[in-house]
């Protein structure tokens, strides 16, 4: 990834438990301060953005051993460098989130 370019993330929430997780399960995704969110592809989710934090609620129940993903596009600041880390936290417990894309910026 290069500073000033587009960053694409995919976050997957998986129910690893034995019980269905109810609709309204929330995932909070914190993007690096060097990434400004521009677009969230959230089919099955309702997402809001405040600064670099996205809060997304699942519109339906998440059955045991199933998952839902969402995509995020953002712009990397022109002065970004190094590894940009994203975190994701799911509430309630019983489901986990994985952020599969790690960004390493390279100067031109």
Instruction: Render pLDDT for 3-46 as a digit per residue (tens, 0 to 9).
Output: 778 888 888 888 888 888 888 888 888 888 888 888 888 788 99
Residue 96, pLDDT above cutoff 60: no
Residue 41's DSSP bridge partners are: 71
CA pair distance 17, 14, nearest whole angstrom: 9
- Could you give the C-alpha distances from 74 to 24, 46, 53, 56, 97, in angstroms and in order? 25, 18, 12, 16, 19
In the chain, the number of structural domains is 1
- Phi, psi angles (nearest 5°) of residue 27: -120, 130
CATH number at residue 99: 2.60.40.290
Decide which of 102 and 37 is more confident. Answer: 37
pLDDT band at 103 (very low <50, low <70, confident <90, very high): very low
Tokens found for residue 83: 């590894």
Provide the whole-model pTM: 0.78
Residue 65 lies in a domain: yes
Residue 1 lies in a domain: no
Residue 21, domain extent: 6-105
């Amino acid at each position: 990834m290069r500073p000033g370019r587009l960053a694409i993330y995919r976050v997957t929430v998986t129910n690893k438990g034995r019980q269905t997780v109810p609709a309204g399960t929330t995932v909070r995704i914190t993007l690096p301060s060097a990434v400004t969110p521009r677009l969230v592809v959230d089919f099955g989710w309702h997402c809001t953005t405040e600064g670099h934090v996205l809060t997304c609620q699942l519109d339906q129940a998440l059955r045991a051993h199933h998952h839902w993903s969402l995509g995020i596009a953002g712009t990397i600041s022109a002065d970004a460098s190094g590894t940009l880390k994203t975190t994701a936290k799911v509430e309630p417990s019983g489901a986990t989130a994985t952020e599969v894309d790690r960004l390493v910026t390279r100067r031109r």
